[in-house]
Amino acid sequence: MSAGPRFGRVATGVAQKQLEALAQTTPGVVSAVLLSSDGFEVASLQVGSAGAARLAAMGSSLSAIGSAIAREAGIVECTRMIIESDSGVVVVMGIPDARPPLSLAVIAREDCVLGQLLWAARNCCVTIARAFRE
Amino acid sequence: MVEGEFKIVFTGPMGAGKTTAIAAISDEPPVSTDVVNNDRVAFDKELTTAGLDYGHIALADGAAVRLYGTPGQLRFRFMWDILGNNAAGIILLLDASQADALVQLDAFVDAFGAGKRSPIVVGVGRAAAAGALPLDAFAQRLESRGLTLPVFGVDVRRRDDVLLLVDTLLCLLELGDRRTA
Ligand SMILES: Nc1nc2c(ncn2[C@@H]2O[C@H](COP(=O)(O)OP(=O)(O)OP(=O)(O)O)[C@@H](O)[C@H]2O)c(=O)[nH]1
Ligand SMILES: [Mg+2]
């Protein structure tokens, strides 16, 4: 068993700052993890390391299954998945054109405003995308 | 004859060939959730399964089999339980050229109920590779734990080899049915 891959330190640093900004400016955000498409944690916020690793693996499974369903349905590319419950929301979004492919998973409380959360998470993804394209 | 539709789960460590095996036998192109593999140290290949594989085969005797593949890497362990739920049988694939193949044998056999929940058939690949463990080593390891599971040497890229595993599993299911009937 290997220790897992390393992702670029500069880009990871940018991502970490963006996750912090997301949590500070968006009411209701509980935690967030930037993850590789194969389920490794790249950066995380407000989750213990075991929690971040689990969330990264689960987020990547979700996003891989979401993409497979989108392909099956002929709608080409899954850009985000939203899991809603009475006690909170989980959003998994693809980071556009990142190399390696990445996704952002955000967990928010039920009192968050979904539109605001999605908009803020989207902006966060766009900024992170820039860092992982350079 | 076994009748109806069966759910079979292909499992085993990264690179053993679960995705390849399902693609080799599925009647239609399988559903794949393979993504870019960032851990070339764990196994040097381009893609790895993050969600599941899904395929389907209709057998000559009217039975149909739904084929599910698990991810192999341990961090996706939660998918093993989800996919293993209600499986009629398990096909465990291993790579004899990996140094930890016997440890993986134990780990996956245990994770999937040690043959007590549903029958397990073991397919060992690359047994002819230089430095690979012999097939006997796998059977002996199981025996030392008081388990007798069928063990076959297979090349997961070959349809006939994979079908042999499926057929064996269906035979075990049929035997199980007779015993409980
Ligand atoms: N040369 C050689 N290649 C093999 C043999 N058996 C399997 N392979 C190759 O090994 C690879 C197995 O990859 P996958 O089918 O993705 O393995 P997997 O078990 O689905 O792996 P994960 O989804 O990452 O857990 C494929 O590229 C096969 O072609 C063999 O006997 N010889
Ligand atoms: Mg696979």
Average pLDDT over residues B55-82: 94
- Helices B77-84 and B101-111 cross at an angle (nearest 10°) of 50
Of B24, B47, B54, which is closest to residue B157 (Cα–Cα)? B24
* pLDDT tens digit at each of 134 positions of chain A: 446 788 888 889 999 999 999 999 999 999 999 999 999 999 999 877 778 999 999 999 999 999 999 999 998 887 899 999 999 999 999 999 888 999 999 999 999 999 999 999 999 999 999 998 86
Residue nearest to atom 2 of ligand 1 (CA): B126
- The CATH number of B5-180 is 3.40.50.300
β-pair type (B34-36, A80-85) = unpaired
| Distance between Cα B47 and ligand 2 center (Å) | 8
Can you give the pLDDT at residue B115? 83
Residues B96 and B132 sit within 8 Å (Cβ to Cβ): yes
For chain B, the 3-state helix, strand and coil shares in percent, each to the nearest 5, are 35, 25, 40
What lies within 8 Å, CB to CB, of B178 at 6+ separation is none
Query: Is the pTM of the predicted complex or chain greater than 0.80?
Result: yes
φ/ψ of residue B155, rounded to 5? -115, 110
From the CA of A25, how many Å to the nearest CA of chain B?
32
For B91-101, what is each residue's pLDDT tens digit? 999 999 999 99
Domain boundaries, chain A: 4-133
Mutation choice for ligand 1 from B11, B37, B45, CB with most ligand atoms inside 8 A: B45
Residue B86's pLDDT is: 92
Asked whether residue B40 carries a pLDDT value surpassing 50, the answer given is yes
What distance in Å separates the CA atoms of residue B91 and residue B162, rounded to the nearest whole number? 10
Q: Is the predicted pLDDT of residue B83 greater than 70, yes or no?
A: yes
**Domain coordinates in residue numbering, chain B:** 5-180
Give pLDDT, residue A1.
40
Token output for A126: 């766009």
Q: Which segment of A76-90, B9-23, B101-115 scores lowest on mean pLDDT?
A: A76-90
What pLDDT band is residue B2 in, cutting at 50, 70 and 90?
A: low
CA distance B31 to chain A (A): 7
Average pLDDT of the residues of chain B: 94
What is residue B3's predicted lDDT score, i.e. its pLDDT? 63
Per-residue pLDDT band for B181 (boundaries 50, 70, 90) equals low
Evaluated on CA atoms A64, A68, A71, A73, the torsion sign reads: negative
Chain A residues with beta carbon closer than 8 angstroms to that of B52: 65
CATH fourth-level superfamily of A4-133: Dynein light chain 2a, cytoplasmic (3.30.450.30)
Which residues contact residue B107 at a Cβ distance below 8 angstroms, ignoring those fewer than 6 apart? Answer: none
**Residue in B19, B33, B73, B133 to alter for ligand 1 test, most ligand atoms within 8 A of Cβ:** B19
Are B156 and B123 spatial neighbours (Cβ–Cβ below 8 Å)?
A: yes
* Angle (deg, nearest 10), helices B135-144 and B101-111: 50
